[in-house]
């Protein structure tokens, strides 16, 4: 079974803090993705990566950055957290990107 | 042109009834149409997918109907059960794409 794990299920941070969300996959997938999920807005793509050290902006990259130093690990960074970044963050991996994506359980982030 | 429009946003169906969720797209280059199912507290997971060379695909109680000329596809859940209560996302991608375009999701509630 493909397993995608995220470092935290729940996270509470203060405005202005630097926040790291970690994602690890165990299936040697080339492609990894970060989404945020908000009620009524569905899944919005923040960043994705198709190879180590490669990254592409998604639909809503502002306020976020990413890092992929190893194939299995994809990190999402909030340089200075703001209250409008309170959301559910979902990581996914995929062998091809455009076909089956395997999602982690999500991190619910609250920024106070 | 990259959008996938999904309706309804929410749906309530009696146990044993048929649940129908609809999606429409504009990009004629799309050639892969998956549906994802997400239970509360979990990440989305692939439920069923179709390619445009067939008009229908059935897996158990779940059926995708595809209308290429209308650029529409739908998910039918026959004999809906309370355990089917979840959020459903339609999606699409095209050859050469490195990501999936998701609809905004439908929250389905099956009344016991």
DSSP A84: G
CB A48 to CB B42 under 8 A? no
Tell me the chain A residues in contact with residue B42 when contact means C-beta distances shorter than 8 Å.
105-106
CA-based nearest distance A98→chain B, Å: 5
Choices 3.40.190.10, 1.20.1250.20, 2.170.190.11, 2.60.40.10: CATH for B4-111? 2.60.40.10
**Is residue A31 predicted with pLDDT exceeding 60?**
yes
Q: Is B100 on the interface with A (CB under 8 A)?
A: yes
Locate B107 and state its tokens: 């929250």
In this predicted structure, what is the pLDDT of residue B97? Answer: 84
CATH 2.60.40.10 fits domain A4-111: yes
Nearest C-alpha in A relative to B87 = A42
**What is the DSSP code string of A16-28?**
T--EEEEEEESS-
CA–CA gap between residue B52 and residue B37 (Å, rounded): 21
Whether the pLDDT of residue B2 is over 70: the answer is no
> For residue B98, what pLDDT is reported?
83
């Amino acid at each position: 079974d493909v397993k995608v794990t995220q470092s935290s299920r729940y996270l509470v941070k203060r405005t202005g803090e630097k926040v790291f969300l970690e994602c690890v996959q165990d299936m040697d997938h080339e492609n990894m993705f970060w989404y945020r999920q908000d009620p009524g807005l569905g899944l919005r793509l923040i960043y994705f990566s198709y190879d180590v050290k490669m990254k592409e902006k998604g639909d809503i990259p502002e306020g976020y950055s990413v890092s992929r130093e190893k194939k299995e690990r994809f990190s999402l960074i909030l340089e200075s957290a703001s209250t409008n970044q309170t959301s559910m963050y979902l990581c996914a991996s995929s062998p091809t990107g455009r076909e089956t994506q395997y999602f982690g359980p999500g991190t619910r982030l609250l920024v106070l | 042109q990259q959008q996938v429009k999904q309706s309804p946003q929410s749906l309530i169906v009696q146990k044993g009834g048929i649940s129908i969720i609809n999606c429409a797209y504009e990009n004629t280059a799309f050639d892969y149409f998956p549906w994802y199912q997400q239970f509360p507290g979990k990440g989305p997971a692939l439920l069923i997918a179709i390619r445009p060379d067939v008009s229908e695909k059935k897996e158990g109680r779940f059926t995708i109907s595809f209308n290429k000329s209308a650029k529409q596809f739908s998910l039918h859940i026959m004999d809906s059960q309370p355990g089917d209560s979840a959020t459903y996302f339609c999606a699409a991608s095209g050859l050469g794409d490195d990501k999936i375009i998701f609809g905004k999701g439908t929250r389905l509630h099956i009344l016991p």
